Every structure is written in structure tokens, then in C-alpha cells.
Amino acid sequence: TRHTVEKYSHEMAEMLQDKLRQSGSVAASLDRTFPHRLLASGSPEKAAEKNIRDKYQHQSKYRSRLMKAGLIDEGEQVSLPASNISQNDLKVLWFYLSDIDEKLKVFDSLLNKVELFEDIINSRFLYKSFAINKSKGFVLTLDSGENVPLNCLSSGEQHELVLAYELLFKVPEKSFIMIDEPELSLHVTWQHKFLNDIERISKLA
């Protein structure tokens, strides 16, 4: 189980790096065509100031979720003017924000799973926090701030990590799963939460 936890930690890091490469590829493609798209078309009807500010707020919240989940680093975001935005600027901002949507869309299929994974594990582990890191995979930190090696986890903690990871990231969608003795090595409190976790995971499938 210890080997499996470390293996899945590496897999998670590789999965995130692959998503970052995909996002980078989308960004490079969009950046190359940005001037042409901007100059070759008029201002879209949706490029109204309210729509742009709404899109900006939505992206800001989505970025915060991605950063909290460990999928992207904190980056500088272009600020919108506090006063009215000119028509030309509205057009540029609409194309710019639409491109950002495409870059971030790469993470859509992964974000909800990562958030649920972190929530499940953090609801189990006492005196330590669990997080995903795009370079290291699984990161465990004591309340004191000290890092915890994965091989120092108890058998029950390792079991929880492996089971939740496999159900969220390894099982094909719409699969029928049979789990033999899922309560093995689980604390009684964890056993009571198990069915609720299974239900939450199944809703993502």
C-alpha cells in the first residue's frame, strides 16, 4: 500500500503537468492568432461592459479554485478599469477574456475531482492537512508546518488515499464497482462517512 500511495502521488503530479502542457499549447495557439482575430472582426454583440465584468468575476473565482486545488500557481491578472470602458477596449478585453476561458477549460474535467479528493482526505486525517501540488503530487503537512513523508502514514490513512484516488481518477466513467470489505483498516467514524463519499464520487461520473 505504501508503494501504491507513492506511485499515485507521482501519477497525480504527471497528470497535472500534462494538463499544464495542454493549457500552454492552447495558449500558444491562441496567442499566435490573437492579432488577426482582433483586427479581422468587428466588436461582438456580447462585448458589453456588464458581460465583460461578469466574465472577469467568474474567471477570478475559477482561478482561485484552481490555485487552491494546487493546479496552477498564483499569477498576475489584468485589472479592469474602475470607470467606464471604451468601445475599443471592450473589444480587446472580450477577445482576451474569451481566450482565457479556452486556456482554463483544459482543467474543467479535473478540478472537481481534485477538490473532492482533497475534501475527503482532509475530513479523515487529524492534525495534518492534505494538498495537491503540481510538482510533488500529494503533500501532507502537520499543523506545525512540518511536512509528513507519505511512508509515515498509517495503514488506514494509506487505505483511504488509495481508495479515494482509484475511485476518482482510475475508474472509467459509468462503471459498476464492487468493493470487498471497504471498512478494512477504517476508523469507525470513517466507516460512517464512507457511503456519503461514494455518493459524492458517483455524482461526478
Cell of 186: 477504517
pLDDT of residue 181: 67
Q: Is the pLDDT reported for residue 1 higher than 60?
A: no
pLDDT of residue 54: 95
Greater pLDDT, 67 or 176: 67
What's the average model confidence in pLDDT over 160-174? 89
Range with the poorest average pLDDT among 72-76, 93-97, 123-127, 130-134: 72-76
Rounded to the nearest integer, the mean pLDDT of the chain is: 88
CB 194 within 8 A of CB 182: yes
pLDDT at 112: 94
